[in-house]
Amino acid sequence: MDFSINTFEKLLSICESENKKIYEIMQEKEAFDFDIDVENVRNRVAKNIEAMKSAIKNGMTSKEKSYSGLCGDDCAKLQERYKKESPLFGKIYEKITTYALATMEENLRMNKIVACPTAGSCGIVPAVITALSEEKGLNKEEEINALITAGTVGYVISAKVAMAGAVAGCQAECGVASAMSAAAAAQILGGNERQKINAAILALKNILGLTCDPVGGLVEIPCVKRNVFLAIHAITGAELSLAGIESKIPPDEIVDAMVQTGQLMSPLLKETSQGGLAITKNGILISSKL
């Protein structure tokens, strides 16, 4: 068996020929590459899920501000609103939005989180998987399957582009996290392998061009709230895909487009804080007070 998986087409063809799910192929590959048991791989994934859930739990009850004093109490505010007014899109929406904020606020407080794929996008995957797990009653093994499915999407994309805002803008951070989450959601909701990848790719396709222009160079503005938006974005990808709506451009070509867009993006918009939001009048004002 040829074990290199650098494209989605390759991944799907292996799934088909082996008659296995994405997470099965990926856990076998990881075990093979690092000469460990599949059980070891799954245990490490389980540890990450535990850490993700602790971050959410801690973040849901804290109002502590970040070192800059700019952020830290948004999760509390959102929970206050939901106490008075149930969210338009129900319990899953409530959980995803608060969990994403909870995790990102833990991150900026210098508390423990799981980079997924990066620290600046650490709220998205945990919010989607945990919210869906709680509402759909997943067991531990199903949660692991979902996170490995998400990880596989990031793994394939990172064969072509580094997961860093400095390389390809926020496409490669929150964008990829959203794509990973869409695949995890499709896994949880019972999609087939092609639908899982299609869900991810629909999410990715619709954030092409997303820049990385944080105010004052901090992982706060716009990163904290952007995690909430792109967590919800992932659900849209999963819903469309499970309805059989396919991207007319194949998955690997979408990734190519993302890589090229990243290359064309001005360095001023790639984690240098020299363009976009970072140099708005108030962006500069905030930055000068840090």
Partner 1 sequence: MKQRSLFDVISPIMTGPSSSHTAGAVRLGLLARNIYKETPQKIIFRLYNSFAQTGKGHGTDKGLLAGLFGYSVDSEKIKNIFNEPSLKNINYAYEYLQNMDRHPNAVDFILEGKINMTISGNSVGAGNVEITKIDDFTTKISGEYNTIILFYKDKPGMISKVSTIIQKENINIASLDCDRNARGQTASMCICVDGQIPSEVISEIEKIEDVYFVRSIKKLED
Query: Residue 106 in contact with residue 122, Cβ under 8 Å?
Result: no
Query: If binding is defined by CB under 8 A, does position 201 make contact with partner 1?
Result: no
Q: How far is the CB of 279 from partner 1 (least distance, A)?
A: 14
Q: Is 288 in the site for partner 1 (CB under 8 A)?
A: no
Is it true that the peptide bond before 126 is cis, omega within 30 degrees of 0? Answer: no
Among 100, 218, 230, 254, binds partner 1 (CB under 8 A): 218
Closer residue to partner 1, CB minimum distance, 26 or 101: 26
Residues in the chain: 290
Q: Which is nearer to partner 1, 153 or 240 (CB)?
A: 153
Burial 148-172 (b: 16+ CB within 10 A, else e): bbbbbbbbbbbeebebbbebbbbbb
Residue 122, interface with partner 1 (CB under 8 A)? yes
Instruction: Check binding of 289 to partner 1 (CB under 8 A).
Output: no
Question: Interface with partner 1 includes 48 (CB under 8 A)?
Answer: yes
Tell me 69's DSSP state.
Answer: S
CB closer to partner 1 out of 48 and 97: 48
Residue 105 to residue 132: CA distance in whole angstroms: 21
Q: Does 36 bind partner 1 (CB under 8 A)?
A: no
Question: Residue 56 in contact with residue 127, Cβ under 8 Å?
Answer: yes
Contacts of residue 257, defined as CB under 8 A and 6 or more positions apart, other chains included, come to: 205, 208, 249
Q: Residue from 116, 146, 230, 286 that binds partner 1 (CB under 8 A)?
A: 116
> What DSSP element (H or E) covers 64?
none
Using CB under 8 A, pick the residue from 14, 100, 113, 286 that binds partner 1.
Answer: 113
**Binding string, 172-191, against partner 1, x = CB under 8 A?**
----x---x-----------
In the chain, the amino acid numbered 154 is G
Q: Which stretch binds partner 1 (CB under 8 A): 39-47, 132-140, 197-205, 235-243?
A: 39-47
Q: Please list every residue from 245 through 264 that binds partner 1, using CB under 8 A.
A: none
